Structure 1
Amino acid sequence: MKNILVMGTNNQVGQVLLKQSQDVTNSELKFTFIDNDKVDFESADQLAPKLQSADILVINTVGWDADYMLDAVMDAIEMQSIKLERIIFRSVAGVDDEYPLDKIQVVAKNQPEFIKQQQYAGKLVDESEIPYTILRPTNIEETANQQYQLIKEGQPMQTAKNVSAVAVAQVIIKAVLTDDLVNQSIGICG
């Protein structure tokens, strides 16, 4: 049995992921969801007990202070000598200068500072020596469109279209179920 711990359901992608995880027919997987209204995502002490039983960690939180959150995750992993098989971290398009900062809708102001936080968080994931997948979706739109394109790191996304929460959740499930996206930073667009 593999335990998948998902941090963050208080957003569109998290809600879709919660529903899609119920449709995964693999009886070898058990999904657990936590939110920062019950667990302080910036507290290693609160995260450590949740992480202890996890095999795969999905970090599906977007907003300010991703850097502090990832510091806490890494501290919890180190504190408790937690052995994760994989980390899947949802970031945003723009962390690699592949997407225009002024198009980022997650934050309404100070996109450069927001991107710096996302870059630092991604660096922590990359340097953790744990197999990882970093997902960099464009803006999330409310639509049931399941179509998406994956963009390799370093490829431009200047004209990329917004993507649905359904599509991003599908890519997260793919990253959980397969090794196709391991040790990659992948852009996702509509």
Structure 2
Amino acid sequence: METSRVKPGFNGVVGSGFDGSSRRAGGGCAMGGGGRGVPVDACGVAMRAFVVAATLVAAVVMGVDRQTRTIRITLADTLPPLEVPVTAKWSYSSAFVYFVVANAMVCLFSAAALASCRRRGAVVPVMVGDLLALALLFSAVGAAAEFGILGERGNSHVRWAKVCNVYGAFCERAMAAVIVSLLAAFANLVMLMLTILTIHKNSSFY
């Protein structure tokens, strides 16, 4: 008998991709059809749509965040206090600027990836992009959260006064944007894990 020399691909057959006939059944998420493209994971699409919406909301909320308060400054006991308007704005902090730029970049990438989710050649580039997006989101959230905590509590060791007792609304909107972006980061992580799981289930090489 002649032994069949078939090298295992993603589905155990040469030339068969994710859409081959030997594809295994998925888990709890339904796999959309498409014999010509990459099968679409309904959970993955929903997660990516959430990442697009969440990063957009986080970038917009932080990008429009500003508050002006009038502060009284006493120069001398014999003089009346001066009322000086002081504004807090997201662009005054490099951490918040990085946060807005990172969320905007992840939003644009996720929207482009969502549009090309059925293209077979986009699988590897999208996975690499998801890894970079994950790193961007977590680093941006960490930087913005650290700056927000500093504004909330101050730092007595270097004599940095807290400012959130003055700019309360500004700090609340900033922290809301950070929380939304953190949710987007976790959704991106789950989405990446689902993609890896889908590739593993559709591969007989392992």
Q: TM-score range by the shorter chain?
A: under 0.3
More strand by share: 1
Between Structure 1 and Structure 2, whose CA radius of gyration is higher? 2
What is the TM-score when the length of structure 1 is the normalising length? 0.25
What is the TM-score when the length of structure 2 is the normalising length? 0.24
